């Protein structure tokens, strides 16, 4: 059995054409947008052509199913608001290439998935969170994006054809770009993932008093932006005895109301996200965040409110699937690989509730991702594909 590297690369470029944007090979293909839905229609046709049965579930997760028990491969095909061409797409197209090659060779049986809203327009890995039972659909439906559109409204564009029973799958392998600097800096071609970190994500609102920016003296202002600024400034020091060098936290989105040069902002809504491999540390950080936000609001005579806390726990990869990837990485790269944790979140975290999971990484040039500049050398993309193929073969035989 031999995967077709040219067909695989050509398919990756075709998928990129849906929402192609920005400099380099960037894409703008957020969940449920027109380019995302068009890309999913194209993917569904590729799955049919590969002899798979296509099912779209109520979240819009797209499955291409082999008959009988099968190994599930895949990732996601939605993007960040500004994303690269490989994040998620690589795992889906590699899955397609391995599935059709296996089918042509008479086995092993491989099914494919492209999960919906992995990039969290509405939550954190929303499509696989719902499919795996981590998040109830009726709770997910209440989640809103930064424009206030609910998931319930956004997913009306999905043509639902059924539900997919996870019991038919023997395991899940997700191939992905690393999205960080480790492999690139170490000149390694493949990373076999040991663990995926945990995450917490919450929207915080400071409510002050909207007022005139010329006439309102500084000492009487209740400026919501100044509250965010004070909170952010104090946070690093409050975290200092709790975090490790691999702990990360981000305020990535802020909505200031009414967002005008001559108005003291009355309301600020911002995203607060933190990630670590230790659940206890994630909880300590949550307590610090809530306490500090309350202190900042009290000091300024303002109100603070918290949205729903979203999160995923850290997970370890399955030993048997991981060993298959390690054996394949050794055979394909002749030792030029390493074991590493994942600092990015992945659908595999949710899927691990249902079946054994494992992940394989290829390098990200200069460690850049969630940006238009994201890229990986073709030779590394193909090496990753071959590792995936070899792992599937060894598990199937």
- How far apart are the C-alpha atoms of 235 and 293, rounded to whole Å? 9
Min dist CB 347 to ligand HGY, Å, is 9
Site residues (CB under 6 A) for ligand HGY, limited to 374-393: none
Q: Kindly tell me which of 118 and 318 has the beta carbon lying closer to ligand HGY.
A: 118
- Residue 345: name its binding partner from ligand HGY, Mn ion, none (Cβ under 5 to 8 Å by kind): ligand HGY
Q: How many CA atoms lie within 13 A of 257 on its CB side?
A: 12
Quick note: the x/- pattern for ligand HGY over 101-130, rule CB under 6 A, is -----------------xxx----------
Of the residues 102, 183, 345, 362, which one makes contact with ligand HGY according to CB under 6 A: 345
- The yes or no reply on residue 347 touching ligand HGY (CB under 6 A) is no
Torsion angle of alpha carbons 183, 196, 235, 143, nearest 10°? 120
**Structure tokens belonging to residue 216:** 């309102």
- The yes or no reply on residue 344 touching ligand HGY (CB under 6 A) is yes
Q: Kindly tell me which of 87 and 318 has the beta carbon lying closer to Mn ion.
A: 87
Q: Kindly tell me which of 266 and 384 has the beta carbon lying closer to ligand HGY.
A: 384
Q: Kindly tell me which of 193 and 345 has the beta carbon lying closer to ligand HGY.
A: 345
Q: Interhelix angle for 34-49 vs 89-105, to 10°?
A: 10
**Structure tokens belonging to residue 285:** 């950080």
Residue 196 dihedral angles phi and psi, to the nearest 5°: -115, 135
- How far apart are the C-alpha atoms of 64 and 109, rounded to whole Å? 11
Instruction: Please count the residues of the chain.
Output: 397
Q: Kindly tell me which of 234 and 365 has the beta carbon lying closer to Mn ion.
A: 365
3-state SS, residue 132: coil
Site residues (CB under 6 A) for ligand HGY, limited to 303-342: none
Min dist CB 118 to ligand HGY, Å, is 5
- Residue 389: name its binding partner from Mn ion, ligand HGY, none (Cβ under 5 to 8 Å by kind): none
Distances in whole angstroms, Cα of residue 21 to Cα of each of 10, 25, 329, 347: 18, 7, 33, 25
Q: Kindly tell me which of 55 and 202 has the beta carbon lying closer to ligand HGY.
A: 202
- Residue 120: name its binding partner from Mn ion, ligand HGY, none (Cβ under 5 to 8 Å by kind): ligand HGY
Q: Kindly tell me which of 208 and 384 has the beta carbon lying closer to Mn ion.
A: 384
Site residues (CB under 5 A) for Mn ion, limited to 30-89: 87-88
Min dist CB 356 to ligand HGY, Å, is 21
**Structure tokens belonging to residue 236:** 């690093």
- The yes or no reply on residue 178 touching ligand HGY (CB under 6 A) is no
Of 300, 294, 288, the C-alpha closest to 225 is: 300
Q: Kindly tell me which of 151 and 345 has the beta carbon lying closer to ligand HGY.
A: 345
Quick note: the x/- pattern for Mn ion over 86-125, rule CB under 5 A, is -xx-------------------------------------
Q: Kindly tell me which of 70 and 273 has the beta carbon lying closer to ligand HGY.
A: 273
Distances in whole angstroms, Cα of residue 328 to Cα of each of 4, 212, 324, 333, 355: 17, 65, 6, 8, 21
- The yes or no reply on residue 272 touching ligand HGY (CB under 6 A) is no
β pairing state of 303-306 and 198-207 = antiparallel
Helices (H), the chain: 5-16, 34-49, 89-105, 126-131, 137-140, 151-154, 182-186, 224-239, 279-299, 319-333, 347-351, 378-396
Residue 56 dihedral angles phi and psi, to the nearest 5°: -115, 120
Min dist CB 218 to Mn ion, Å, is 41
- Residue 375: name its binding partner from ligand HGY, Mn ion, none (Cβ under 5 to 8 Å by kind): none
3-state SS, residue 6: helix
Q: Kindly tell me which of 307 and 343 has the beta carbon lying closer to Mn ion.
A: 343
- How far apart are the C-alpha atoms of 63 and 320, rounded to whole Å? 24
For Mn ion (CB under 5 A), the number of binding residues is 2
3-state SS, residue 113: strand
Min dist CB 346 to ligand HGY, Å, is 7
- The yes or no reply on residue 374 touching Mn ion (CB under 5 A) is no
Residues at the interface with Mn ion (CB under 5 A): 87-88
Q: Which residues in this chain contact ligand HGY in the complex, by CB under 6 A?
A: 118-120, 344-345
């Amino acid at each position: 059995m031999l995967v077709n590297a040219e067909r695989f690369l050509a398919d990756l470029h075709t998928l990129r054409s849906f929402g192609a944007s920005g400099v380099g090979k960037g894409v703008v293909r957020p969940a449920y947008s027109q380019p995302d839905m068009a890309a999913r229609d194209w993917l569904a046709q590729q799955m049919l052509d590969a002899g798979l049965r296509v099912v779209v579930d109520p979240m819009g997760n797209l499955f291409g199913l082999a008959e009988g028990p099968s190994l599930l491969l895949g990732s996601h095909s939605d993007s960040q608001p500004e994303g690269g061409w490989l994040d998620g797409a690589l795992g889906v197209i590699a899955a397609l290439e391995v599935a059709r090659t296996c089918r042509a060779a008479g086995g092993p049986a491989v099914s494919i998935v492209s999960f919906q809203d992995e990039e969290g327009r509405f939550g954190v890995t929303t499509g696989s969170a719902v499919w795996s039972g981590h998040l109830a659909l009726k709770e997910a439906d209440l989640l809103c994006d930064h424009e206030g559109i609910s998931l319930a409204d956004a997913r009306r564009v999905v043509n639902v054809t059924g539900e997919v029973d996870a019991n038919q799958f023997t395991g899940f392998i997700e191939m992905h770009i690393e999205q960080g600097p480790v492999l690139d800096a170490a000149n390694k071609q493949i990373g076999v993932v040991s663990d995926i970190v945990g995450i917490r994500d919450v929207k915080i609102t400071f409510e002050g008093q909207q007022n005139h920016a010329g006439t309102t003296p500084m000492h009487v202002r209740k400026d919501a932006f100044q509250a965010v600024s004070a909170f952010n400034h104090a946070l690093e020091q409050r975290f200092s005895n709790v975090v490790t060098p691999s702990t990360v936290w981000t305020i990535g989105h802020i909505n200031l109301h009414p967002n005008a040069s001559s108005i003291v902002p009355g309301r600020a809504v911002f995203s607060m996200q933190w990630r670590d491999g230790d659940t206890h540390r994630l909880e300590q950080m949550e307590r610090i965040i809530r306490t500090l936000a309350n202190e900042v609001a009290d000091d300024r005579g303002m109100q603070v409110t918290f949205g729903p806390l979203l999160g995923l726990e850290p997970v370890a990869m399955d030993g048997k699937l991981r060993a298959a990837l390690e054996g394949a990485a050794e055979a394909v790269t002749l030792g030029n690989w390493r074991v590493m944790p994942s600092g990015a979140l992945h659908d595999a975290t949710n899927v691990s509730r249902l079946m054994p999971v494992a992940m394989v990484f290829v390098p990200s040039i200069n460690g850049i991702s969630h940006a238009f500049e994201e890229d990986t050398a073709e030779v590394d993309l193909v090496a990753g594909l071959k590792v995936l193929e070899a792992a599937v073969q060894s598990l199937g035989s």
